[in-house]
């Protein structure tokens, strides 16, 4: 029988509680304490002296208004943490004490880089090919000292050199897929094998929330071709399992997702122009073979020298440099950048999907823009932001380093958008690809540009990162 508390609770809280019952234990209950929906486990304790057994309740966490479960902090790991931790050892570590207790939340755990290290990280994010000599000049350092600091950051943060590419200029559009398993759930290895085999999937992760699987995909910017590709994707990814798919058109506005090499090898390669009688001239939506080769190599390592590229591709006369500059001028390459593959002490990444139910709620555009490029720690506050079109709204993805960050980010979104229709999911396990984590200079963000067009002064100074050099 459903309790009066859960029966009257908001939908997001009811959904999260029901999910907890399925995944953790049916022997839990929810209580409304000082406005918080607190979850308790009913346990049996045996007195070691008398042998008498007694039923007691133990606080295991709370569910916030967005349907996000925040586990409690105990002196020992709860059964939930042990169970989920065995499958996802680096996830589900956000903890807090029960309401009314005096224990404080854990303090900042994100390691602090010094000011100059953060500037190096920012410079590499804006132009991973920036010369060490020029970077040293900006810092007042020698070239060897700048090189040593870069190598140190590479090791500390697992920096991968890659490209930020405008795939729309290559003839593709973005979609996101939220999927839920309705019956038997496949093993992780089966999910991973099925998704990694699909080159249109650039990022995929298992999630905790309303859905079980999140995917970010690329399809042809042609409605008939897009329908065919989406149908083929649904037919090939775990077709023998009952799943509910929600496919949403997506418009990226901030951040990036690094492209998998499979995209180049199995999709973009099909766009390489080949002269035929029917196609005597290169048309739109195609690339030259040399452009394809440079994109493929630099996506794998954007710090590769032009001499190395020329040698590997069998080119001469600095042909790779010329090709790179042309791709940069065309806007196909937005910038050579980095992806931090080992953000130290990052607990997990959170996905926030915000529905726009009332247009008036979204009239405070400046607030939304300011929130996206707002203050952050070592890396950007949000890794990825864009508009969604089925339930119209916005999707945010953010790294979470500290206890309570997810709740605070959710509240930031509520306050900036005026909408409290925020659905939160936790990325529990990455299946394929990654989200681009870096320290982007927000002076160059579209959000800052629009605010300046409104007449506001930029909060960030303009720095020349020598992108075209």
pLDDT at residue number 68: 65
The secondary element (H helix, E strand) that includes residue 385 is strand 384-389
pLDDT for res 281: 83
* Model confidence band, residue 76 (pLDDT cutoffs 50, 70, 90): very low
Dihedral of CA 277/281/282/285: which sign?
Answer: negative
Cα–Cα distance between 13 and 65 in angstroms, integer?
7
- Given a cut of 50, whether residue 89 has pLDDT beyond it is no
171-212 pLDDT per residue, tens: 999 999 999 999 899 999 999 999 999 999 999 999 998 899
Give Cα 420 distance to the centre of its chain. Answer: 21
pLDDT in the model for residue 67: 66
Beta carbons of 105 and 62 less than 8 angstroms apart? no
Query: Which pLDDT score is estimated for 48?
Result: 56
Q: Choose among 269, 80, 256, 281: nearest CA to 164.
A: 256
Q: How far apart are CA 426 and CA 63, in angstroms?
A: 13
Residue in 352, 434, 419 with CA at minimum distance from that of residue 386: 352
3-state secondary structure of 116: helix
pLDDT for 75 equals 34
- What is residue 139's DSSP assignment? H
Q: What is the pLDDT of residue 92?
A: 38
Q: Which three-class secondary structure state does DSSP give residue 54?
A: strand
CA 160 to chain centre: 16
Q: How far apart are CA 207 and CA 101, in angstroms?
A: 30
The pLDDT of residue 74 is 47
Q: What is the dihedral of CA 92, 369, 171, 197, to 10 degrees?
A: 0
CB of 261 closer than 8 Å to CB of 296? yes
> Which range among 36-40, 97-101, 318-322 shows the weakest confidence by mean pLDDT?
97-101
Domain boundaries, the chain: 4-87
| pLDDT, mean of residues 217-225 | 94
Average the pLDDT over 95-109 and give the result: 38
Closest CA to 460 of 442, 445, 447, 446: 442
- The rounded percent of the chain whose pLDDT value lies above 70 is 83
- List of residues 6+ apart from 91 with CB closer than 8 A: 84, 85, 347, 348, 426, 427, 428, 429
Query: Token pair for residue 124?
Result: 């590499």
Q: What pLDDT was estimated at residue 84?
A: 43
Average pLDDT, whole number, for the chain?
Answer: 85
Q: Hey, what are 325's tokens?
A: 């500059």
How many residues are present in the chain?
Answer: 469
User: Using one digit for the tens of pLDDT, what is the confidence trace for 132-166?
Assistant: 999 999 999 999 999 999 999 999 999 999 999 99
Taking a C-beta distance cutoff of 8 angstroms, is the pair 416, 367 a contact? yes
* Strands of the 69-71 sheet, one edge to the other: 28-33, 36-46, 53-63, 69-71
Confidence of residue 361 (pLDDT cuts 50, 70, 90): low
Between 15-19, 87-91, 143-147, the lowest mean confidence (pLDDT) is in 87-91
User: Is the pLDDT assigned to residue 214 strictly greater than 50?
Assistant: yes
pLDDT at 79: 47
- Give me the mean pLDDT over the 54-74 stretch: 70
Which residues touch 453 (CB under 8 Å, ≥6 apart)? none
The span from the CA of 40 to the CA of 60, in Å, is 6
Residue range 321-329: average pLDDT?
Answer: 97
Pairwise pLDDT comparison (278 vs 172), residue with the higher score:
172
pLDDT-derived band at 87 (thresholds 50, 70, 90) equals: very low
Q: Is 327 within 8 Å of 294 (Cβ atoms)?
A: yes
Q: What is the pLDDT of residue 363?
A: 59
| Confidence tier at 362 by pLDDT (50, 70, 90) | low
Tell me which of 401 and 143 has the higher pLDDT.
Answer: 143
| Residue given tokens 């089925």 in the structure block | 390
Answer whether 72's CB lies under 8 Å from 57's CB. no
Q: Which residues of 374-405 are buried (b: 16+ CB within 10 A; e: fewer)?
A: eebbbbbbbbbbbebeeeebbbbbbbbbbbeb
Radius of gyration of the chain (CA): 25
Q: Retrieve residue 278's tokens.
A: 């029917």
pLDDT of residue 59: 80
């Amino acid at each position: 029988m459903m309790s009066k508390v859960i029966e009257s609770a908001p939908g997001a809280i009811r959904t999260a509680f029901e999910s907890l019952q399925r995944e953790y234990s049916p022997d839990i209950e929810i209580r409304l304490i000082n406005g918080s929906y607190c979850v308790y486990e009913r346990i049996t304790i045996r007195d070691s002296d008398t042998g008498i057994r007694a039923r007691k309740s133990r606080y295991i966490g709370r569910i916030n208004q967005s349907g996000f479960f925040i586990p409690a902090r105990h002196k020992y790991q709860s059964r939930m943490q042990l169970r989920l931790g065995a499958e996802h050892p680096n996830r589900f570590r956000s903890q807090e004490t029960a309401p009314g207790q005096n224990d404080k939340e854990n303090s900042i755990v994100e390691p602090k880089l010094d000011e100059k290290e953060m500037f190096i990280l920012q410079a590499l994010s804006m132009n991973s090919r920036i010369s060490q000599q020029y970077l040293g000049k900006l810092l007042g350092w020698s070239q060897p000292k700048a090189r040593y600091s870069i190598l140190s950051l590479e090791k500390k943060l697992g920096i991968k050199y890659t490209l930020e590419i405008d795939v729309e200029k290559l003839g593709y559009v973005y979609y996101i897929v939220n999927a839920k398993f309705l019956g038997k759930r496949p093993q992780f290895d089966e999910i991973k094998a099925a998704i990694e085999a699909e080159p249109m999937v650039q990022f995929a992760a298992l999630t905790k929330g309303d859905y079980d699987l999140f995917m970010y995909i690329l399809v042809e910017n042609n409605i008939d071709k897009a329908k065919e590709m989406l149908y083929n994707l649904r037919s090939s990814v775990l077709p023998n399992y009952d799943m509910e798919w929600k496919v949403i058109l997506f418009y990226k506005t901030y951040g990036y997702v690094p492209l998998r090499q499979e995209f180049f090898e199995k999709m973009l390669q099909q766009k390489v122009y080949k002269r035929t009688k029917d196609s005597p001239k290169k048309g739109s939506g195609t690339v030259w073979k040399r452009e394809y080769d440079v994109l493929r190599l630099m996506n794998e390592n954007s710090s590769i020298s032009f001499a190395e590229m020329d040698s590997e591709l069998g080119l001469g006369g600095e042909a790779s440099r010329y090709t790179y500059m042309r791709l940069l001028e065309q806007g196909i390459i937005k910038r050579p950048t980095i992806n931090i593959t080992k953000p130290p002490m990052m607990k997990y990444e959170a996905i926030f999907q915000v529905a726009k139910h009332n247009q008036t709620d979204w009239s405070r555009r400046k607030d939304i823009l300011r929130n996206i490029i707002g203050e952050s720690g070592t890396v950007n506050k949000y890794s990825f932001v864009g508009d969604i079109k089925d339930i119209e709204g916005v999707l945010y993805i953010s790294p979470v380093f500290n206890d309570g960050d997810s709740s605070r980010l959710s509240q930031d979104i509520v306050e900036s958008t005026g909408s409290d229709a925020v659905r939160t999911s936790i990325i529990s396990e990455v299946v394929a690809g990654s989200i681009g984590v870096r320290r982007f200079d927000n002076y160059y963000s579209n959000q800052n540009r629009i605010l300046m067009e409104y007449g506001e002064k930029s909060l960030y100074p303009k720095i020349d990162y020598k992108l075209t050099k």
